[in-house]
Every structure is written in structure tokens, then in C-alpha cells.
């Protein structure tokens, strides 16, 4: 008998466990270069949300240089809500 697909399919985790490894390292202080997951779509649209998840777990963390706007919810650099919805939709299709 075959196993159901749900037992074989890898599910994305939410919160800090769902962050790509390159973003976790970048947020933690490895600032040699900006990871692709922070620059390409859908990653850049989800960056503020991912930073908040990191910040919840690491309250003393400072954002990477040039990304100080991540700590400012009123910053015009934050992507619009419609773009964040599209990014989340893309991530659901991939998962």
C-alpha cells in the first residue's frame, strides 16, 4: 500500500522556523552581502514580516545596514498590502 501524500509532503513552518537559512544568518549578523531571499520577489515583499518574526525571538537585534526601515512600521519602504498578499499567494503555491 502506498503512503498518503500528506505524510511525504514537507510543510512550511511559520514564524522564525520558516525563515530561509540565508535570512536567518543575515538577520543574525552575517552582513557580508544581502541574500537573494531579501532582494527577489516574493522575498522582498515578505521581508518586513520576516524581520518582525526574527525580532520577536531576538529583541536586541538590529536590522542590517540600509534596512533600518524594517523597525519603522510607518516607513514608505514597506511594500503595499496588495503586494504582500500576492507574495503570500506565491509562497502557498510553491509549498
Among residues 48, 76, 79, 75, the alpha carbon closest in space to that of 64 is found at 48
pLDDT in tens, 28-66: 988 888 999 899 999 999 999 999 999 999 999 999 989
> What does pTM read for this prediction?
0.77
pLDDT at 83: 96
pLDDT at 2: 66
Among residues 5, 18, 31, 3, the alpha carbon closest in space to that of 57 is found at 18
Above 70 in pLDDT, residue 26? yes
C-alpha to C-alpha distance for 57 and 51, rounded to whole angstroms: 10
Above 90 in pLDDT, residue 84? yes
Which residue ranges make up each domain of the chain? 13-94
Above 60 in pLDDT, residue 95? no
Amino acid at each position: 500500500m502506498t503512503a498518503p501524500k500528506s505524510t511525504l509532503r514537507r510543510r512550511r513552518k511559520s514564524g522564525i522556523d520558516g525563515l530561509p537559512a540565508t535570512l536567518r544568518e543575515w538577520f543574525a549578523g552575517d552582513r557580508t552581502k544581502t541574500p537573494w531571499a531579501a532582494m527577489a520577489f516574493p522575498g522582498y515583499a515578505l521581508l518586513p514580516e520576516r524581520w518582525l518574526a526574527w525580532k520577536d525571538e531576538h529583541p536586541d537585534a538590529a536590522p542590517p545596514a540600509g534596512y533600518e526601515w524594517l523597525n519603522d512600521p510607518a516607513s514608505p519602504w514597506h511594500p503595499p498590502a496588495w503586494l504582500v498578499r500576492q507574495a503570500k499567494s506565491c509562497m502557498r503555491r510553491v509549498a
